[in-house]
Amino acid sequence: MSDSGTKDRQAIFEGLSEQDRNTLYSLAPIKMLAPGDILIREGDTDQTAYVVLDGKLRVVRDMGGQEEEIALLQQGDWVGEIAFTMLVPRTASVVAAEKSRVMALHKSTLNALNEKTQLYFFKRLNDLASARVGDLARKEKDLHGTARQLVDYIQTTRQRTRAEYAASDMIQGVIGKTPRLPDFARDLIVGLVEKKQSPAEAAEKIKTGAEPAETVLRIANSHYYGFQNPLADIRDAMAFLGFNEVYRLLMTVGIRRTMPDTPFFRKLHRHAVVVSHLAFRLSQASQVGRPIEIATIGLMHELGLCVLRRLMEANPNLGVFIQAMDGALMGALLLESWDLPPAICQAVEYQCHPEFAPPARLPQDVRDNVSLLYLAHLCHDRIMDEADPGTPVPFLEEYLRVFGWGGSTLEDVTARRLLPGLLKKIDTYPVFFRQKLEALSAG
């Protein structure tokens, strides 16, 4: 062996005697790698560690179909020490960047060495694993700091955008021309959300009010619900539908009066009705938030898209610009112009935050409502067959913990938390939602 080879052995396995090094080299397999050869494949579960004797190797990870290099190994570097000590899938692949030689360390090889040499290797592997864990902890801390800065930036940008929208004559002009919510609907919302009246008092007000009572009967006996037997009067409707559905019916009618009767708005309306039902049921099942409040938010959460639609119709040459505008902020400004309670307006404004921020970064007074709305949206997409598998849900686990459902999946939440309660009231739902639930329960 050349002097350089002997020195390399000494440097790589410093602390071993020459005799122990010679024994090691006689027992441990040496692998020759050509450029591009794969030494370790991500996801494999073998427990072999490797020492780089010559050459260079790339450590790469699959990031959504894109290969990302996370380290470059050179002579004397070790790799695979975590998989060696515990049976876990490989977290990355290792590929030869050039012609290389590596020593493979199997447990059977180490068992054939004397006790002193075994202790040397186990200590070395343990030190490497500890260093790797420490490095991962530092990277996680750095990543957390970067993510926090990104969330801060997005939130600050949205606040600036909000101020710009509020000062825009074009936006305020469209909001100002949007019909206001009817008084009967607004009074009900304010009374219930701000706890100025109880559900029993609100129910009595509906029964004795000419417009609400007539509206409930007209819609309840229409094709929207499709009941076989017509309801005779408002008390009959209240008894059959229940206060919550009567309230939702009146809110739906009130909201529809603010928007034109077009396919776009009808589709938006159906979406909002389903989200309202799901959010209401999630609140009941988890005892998070107030069901009547989140039901109201569910009905109104997409109204900003209606404002954007009207902006585009009034300014067709600005279509690309308007499509990039923030519908949630637009909806909050509209609801504020109707003098609705802050709890409603703020939940609509913050509804997009779960896409880029965990619940801990939400203001405390909107956290429950925004979490309910977010989870209801995700469940809606699955129930209505609109889920996009490619849509990221990076903070889903954190939001599930808000409800005490950590470790669950969306499928679990839908099947165990939502559907049983929804099916109990299925006879009182609009026909389009009733038919969807019937199909789900039959399947």
CA distance linking residue 49 with residue 83, whole number of Å: 7
Q: What whole-number distance in Å separates Cα of residue 174 and Cα of residue 126? A: 66
71: buried, middle or exposed (CB in 10 Å: 19+, 13-18, 0-12)? middle
H/E stretch holding 57 reads: strand 57-63
What radius of gyration, in Å, describes the C-alpha atoms of the chain? 31
Instruction: Collect all residues with Cβ–Cβ distance below 8 Å to 374 and sequence separation of at least 6.
Output: 351, 354, 399
Q: Name the residue type at position 340.
A: L
SS3 for 361? helix
Its sign, for the CA torsion 121, 124, 129, 132, is negative
Q: Which of 425, 420, 413, 412 is nearest to 440 (CA)?
A: 420
β-sheet bridge partners, residue 69: 60
Strand order in the sheet with 49-54: 30-33, 100-105, 49-54, 78-79
Question: Which of these, 390, 410, 414, 392, lies nearest to 400 by C-alpha position?
Answer: 410
**The pLDDT of residue 274:** 96
**What string of pLDDT tens digits covers the 443 residues of the chain?**
444 456 667 788 888 888 988 999 999 999 999 999 999 999 888 888 899 999 999 999 988 778 889 889 999 999 988 778 777 888 899 999 999 999 999 888 888 889 888 898 888 888 887 777 787 778 778 877 888 888 888 889 999 999 999 999 999 999 999 999 999 999 999 999 999 999 999 999 898 888 889 999 999 999 999 998 899 999 999 999 999 999 999 999 999 999 988 999 999 999 999 999 999 999 999 999 999 999 999 999 999 999 999 999 999 898 888 988 999 999 999 999 999 999 999 999 999 999 999 999 999 999 999 999 999 999 999 999 888 887 889 899 999 999 999 999 999 999 999 999 999 999 999 999 999 999 988 86
C-alpha–C-alpha distance, residues 280 and 294, integer Å: 6
The two tokens of residue 7 are: 């020195």
Domains of the chain: 3-135 (2.60.120.10), 168-442 (1.10.3210.10)
* Ramachandran region, residue 242 (left: φ > 0; alpha: ψ -120 to 50; beta: rest): left
Q: Which of 290, 388, 265, 392 has the alpha carbon at shortest distance from 347?
A: 290
pLDDT for the residue numbered 390: 77
Burial group, residue 158, by CB count within 10 angstroms (0-12, 13-18, 19+): middle
Contact status, residue 188 vs residue 249, Cβ threshold 8 Å: no
- Looking at residue 443, what is its pLDDT? 67
Distant-in-sequence contacts of 361-364, Cβ < 8 A, 24+ apart: 361/151, 361/155
> What pLDDT does residue 340 have?
97
* CB distance 231 to 220 below 8 Å: yes
Backbone angles phi, psi at 58, to 5 degrees: -95, 135
Q: H-type helices in 168-198, by residue range? A: 169-177, 183-193
**Are 174 and 304 within 8 A, CB to CB?**
no
Ordered alpha helix ranges (H), 362-425: 364-383, 396-402, 410-412, 419-424
pLDDT value of position 2? 46
Full-model pTM: 0.76
Cβ atoms of 252 and 224 within 8 Å: the answer is: no
